[in-house]
């Protein structure tokens, strides 16, 4: 089973892991890949042209709003191709992007959750 960049979008990560365990064959393998919440790709926010991890000092809520505002009002400030960021595509369509990052993954809490579901 393959799970890439999914668990951070799930409201109940333990239920997600429980379901993986349920459908997995005995001795089956799971490849679960995600980035820690505070890693550049883990925040799921577009990068600025000026390489500053703004979410580390502004926090998630403000950084998300800033990225949404920049996409709508200063898209050239983002280091992303026009169709390579859901912030930019939502802004072009006049849509309000909502934050779908539901589980703030850290190495510690992911390891604990995986151990809770008896994966090895």
87 plus 108 within the same structural domain: no
25 plus 51 within the same structural domain: no
Residue 94 per-residue DSSP state: T
CA distance 20 to 12: 13
Distances (CA, A) of 72 to 9, 38, 88, 98, 113: 24, 24, 7, 14, 37
- pLDDT per position as a tens digit, 26-70: 889 999 999 888 887 778 889 899 888 898 899 889 999 999 999
Q: How far apart are the first and last CA of the chain?
A: 14
37 plus 51 within the same structural domain: no
61 plus 92 within the same structural domain: yes
- The pLDDT score that the predictor gives to residue 51 is 81
50 plus 94 within the same structural domain: yes
What is the extent of the structural domain holding 108?
1-41+101-120
pLDDT at 109 over 80: yes
CA distance 4 to 44: 13
pLDDT averaged over every residue in the chain: 91
Cβ-count burial of 43 within 10 angstroms (0-12 exposed, 13-18 middle, 19+ buried)? buried
Number of compact structural domains in the chain: 2
pLDDT at 21 over 80: yes
Distance of CA 75 to the CA centre of its chain: 21
Mean pLDDT, range 70-92, rounded to an integer: 92
13 plus 60 within the same structural domain: no
């Amino acid at each position: 089973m393959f799970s890439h960049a999914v668990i951070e979008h799930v409201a109940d990560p333990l239920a997600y892991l429980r379901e993986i365990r349920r459908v997995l064959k005995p001795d089956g393998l799971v490849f679960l890949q995600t980035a820690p919440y505070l890693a550049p790709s883990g925040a799921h926010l577009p990068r600025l042209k000026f390489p500053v991890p703004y979410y580390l000092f502004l926090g998630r809520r403000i950084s998300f709003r800033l990225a949404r505002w920049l996409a709508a009002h200063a898209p050239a400030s983002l280091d992303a191709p026009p169709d390579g960021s859901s912030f930019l595509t939502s802004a072009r369509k006049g849509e309000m992007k909502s934050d779908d990052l539901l589980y703030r993954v850290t190495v510690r809490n992911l390891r604990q959750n995986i151990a809770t579901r008896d994966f090895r």
